[in-house]
Amino acid sequence: MTDTTPPTSTRWSLLASTLRAQRRNLTIGTLIGLAWTVGKVASPVLVRYGIDRGIRNDELLWLWAGLIGVAGCVAGFFTALRRFYAFREARWTETRLREQLFGHIMSLHIGYHDRAQTGQLMSRSSSDLNSIQMFVVMIPITLSNLAMITAVVVILFVTDWFLALLALASLPLIQIAGRRFSQAIHPAVLAIQAEQAELATVVEESVGGVRVIKGFGAERVQSDKLRTAAERIKGVSINAARIRAKFLPAIELLPQLGLIAVLWFGGNRVIDGDLTLGQLVQFNVFVALLVQPLRMIGMTIAFAQRAAAALERVNEILDIAPEVADPARPAQLPGGPDRGAVSFESVRFGYGNDPGQPPVLDGFDLELDAGESVAIVGGTGSGKSTIARLLVRFYDVEAGSVRIDGVDVRDLALHDVRRSVGIVFEDTLLFHDTVSANIAFAHPDADAATVERAARLAGAHEFITDLPDGYETMLGERGFSLSGGQRQRIAIARAILADPRVLVLDDATSAVDPSKEHEIRSAMSTVMDGRTTVVIAHRPGTIALADTVVLLDGGRVVARGRHDDLLVTEPRYRDVLAAMETSDDDTAAEHAAAEHGATQIGSDA
């Protein structure tokens, strides 16, 4: 995201393009507003004639009173219709922009999400879009207000040009005050929205990391962060309120000066016989009628500044081009029974955080036949998980190529790549939904039999049926109502149901109590049978599931063979396993406590 402010035309172009798609309904809303204007403007004119012509004739007086009532009903009816259309179109705009923004956020490369703050993205997707919606509501309302102001000005000048000048003399001053208000309020509103995003970040991190916070007894630390963020919001909000308090009273007071002038000079002209009483009353009603539209225009200016700030922040996201995107003409993966061959050819890749750091992978080569399984073993930071990320094209290689069934993944549509490669991540994320919906995540239209088959293959069916509502049991946030082993088996079932050509198990047992690992390994063994599988692991029992083991060091393959053979022939392999086993010993008690302490809906199968 950039710190520079985009030109106004660029800032508003996003909203303009969205409103163009609504031009039909916006036109209808504007016509409704004009009908409202007719009703509002007709009332003072009818009051004038009611006084001048009907006050001495009871029959005519009733006629004019009835016409005034009709005009009031017209204005009231179209007031309701005007607001309905305004809010409907504003919500339509907000919905379209939210869908566009969310779709773009989802399309951005993983490297962007590594750096982006979740709270900032949430703020742009909620409060910023709400600010835009509030401004769009004012568009048809403001157009009808402008139409009414124009009609009133014309009638006033036709009736008496001198009194009209007195009544409207304050309008240039209102325009100057409005422009200065707009210039002053924009940076203040932008600061409020930025601080609200920071507050959202603190709340999101606190809720998402509540177990870490409670585990370290750091509730007060996060409370202090929240208090600081809230105080900053209060500070910038008070500054914005101070600006409004400085300008808005003047914008509201200036029209009242015209009302005083009309009453004084017009009253004297009525006494002199140069103006009828009805005309004077009409003038005063019209001047009073101008106050609310002018006030609304002041509100529109304020809403416009909020919308401008919001559009600026939304455009910051939409202007970011995904570094990993679909090719112009995507290739197709070949069909046939022997699917899932994988090859890494002279791959070079680094994350680019520090140009002085060597690449994670450099000259990495690996060939996997269809149906073959390989375990990737290496020390911390050796690039094991990077291999999985390149395979699903979370990132693109700097040099070399990654191929599935002979096709470079960069030549494939991202959807095809990620449907062809299924990943079970180390950190299992389950959604706040039913067990069945979590398993069928990639294929929400899957039937119950397909979901159950995937669960059986993953070794999850037995514990699922023991849950209160079986497959329809609603899981809590991130699935923490289940144990680590249960979550992992549901994640494996989710990958099975997606039926990928290639399965990646990225440290799929690292978050599980070692005493429960054999249950996950049994499920993994069933899933891996006959399927191309990349196992990223550091526990010997999991490594032994693979046909072949690859030792990674210095960003490239330094040894390849069966687990038992490498234990005999490769000292480096033994050293890596020894280091990993030591780490496991240090954390085994921690994993066991986490498994035992999880809130259980059911018991482990």
Taking the C-alpha atoms of residue 468 and residue 102, their distance in angstroms, rounded to an integer, is: 35
Q: What is the mean pLDDT of residues 155-160?
A: 85
Taking the C-alpha atoms of residue 343 and residue 429, their distance in angstroms, rounded to an integer, is: 28
DSSP at 516: G
Give residue-wise pLDDT tens across range 532-574.
888 887 777 778 778 889 988 888 888 898 888 888 888 888 8
DSSP string, 428-479: ----SSBHHHHHTSS-TT--HHHHHHHHHHTT-HHHHHTSTTGGGPBP-GGG
Tokens encoding 131: 């600010």
Is pLDDT of 252 > 50? Answer: yes
Question: b or e along 146-179 (b: 16 or more beta carbons within 10 Å of the residue's beta carbon)?
Answer: bbbbebbbebbeebbeebbebbbebbeebeebbe
Taking the C-alpha atoms of residue 184 and residue 174, their distance in angstroms, rounded to an integer, is: 15
For 76, residues 6+ apart whose C-beta sits below 8 A from its C-beta are 39
Give residue-wise pLDDT tens across range 416-437.
888 888 888 777 778 878 889 8
Q: What is the mean pLDDT of residues 179-192?
A: 78
Q: What is the pLDDT of residue 6?
A: 47
DSSP string, 362-398: EEEEEEE-TT-EEEEEE-TTSSHHHHHHHHTTSS--S
Q: What is the pLDDT of residue 201?
A: 76
Q: What is the pLDDT of residue 343?
A: 92
Q: What is the pLDDT of residue 220?
A: 82
Q: What is the mean pLDDT of residues 236-243?
A: 88
Q: What is the pLDDT of residue 355?
A: 60
| CA neighbor of 340 nearest in space, from 415, 419, 411, 413 | 419
Is pLDDT of 55 > 90? Answer: no
| Lowest-confidence pick of 199-203, 321-325, 462-466, 545-549 | 199-203
Strand partners, 551: 377, 559
Q: What is the pLDDT of residue 600?
A: 39
Higher-scoring residue by pLDDT: 480, 226: 226
Confidence of residue 590 (pLDDT cuts 50, 70, 90): very low
What is the helix (H) or strand (E) element at residue 421, kind and residue range?
strand 421-424
Mean pLDDT of the chain: 80
Query: Which CATH number is associated with domain 8-318?
Result: 1.20.1560.10
Confidence of residue 604 (pLDDT cuts 50, 70, 90): very low
Does the pTM exceed 0.75? no
Query: Which CATH number is associated with domain 373-383+423-597?
Result: 3.40.50.300
Q: Are 110 and 323 in contact (CB under 8 A)?
A: no
Q: What is the pLDDT of residue 418?
A: 85
Is pLDDT of 483 > 90? Answer: no
How far, CA to CA in Å, does 417 sit from each of 340, 421, 446, 502, 507?
11, 6, 20, 10, 21
Q: What is the mean pLDDT of residues 341-355?
A: 83
Residue ranges, comma separated, of all CATH 3.40.50.300 domains in the chain are 373-383+423-597
- ∠ CA 468-590-458, nearest 5°, is 45
Category of 459 on φ-ψ map: left (φ > 0), alpha (ψ -120 to 50) or beta? left
Is pLDDT of 47 > 80? Answer: yes
| φ/ψ (deg, to 5) at 337 | -75, -35
| Lowest-confidence pick of 1-10, 164-173, 269-278, 345-354 | 1-10
Q: Are 341 and 406 in contact (CB under 8 A)?
A: yes
Q: How many CB atoms lie within 10 A of CB 365?
A: 12
* Encoded amino acid at 309, one letter: A
Q: What is the pLDDT of residue 403?
A: 92
Taking the C-alpha atoms of residue 490 and residue 483, their distance in angstroms, rounded to an integer, is: 11
| CA neighbor of 345 nearest in space, from 361, 319, 366 | 366
Confidence of residue 605 (pLDDT cuts 50, 70, 90): very low
Tokens encoding 310: 């919001």
Residue ranges, comma separated, of all CATH 1.20.1560.10 domains in the chain are 8-318
Taking the C-alpha atoms of residue 128 and residue 138, their distance in angstroms, rounded to an integer, is: 16
Taking the C-alpha atoms of residue 423 and residue 508, their distance in angstroms, rounded to an integer, is: 9
Is pLDDT of 243 > 50? Answer: yes
Q: What is the mean pLDDT of residues 99-128?
A: 80
How far, CA to CA in Å, does 293 sit from each of 88, 152, 255, 288?
21, 11, 11, 10
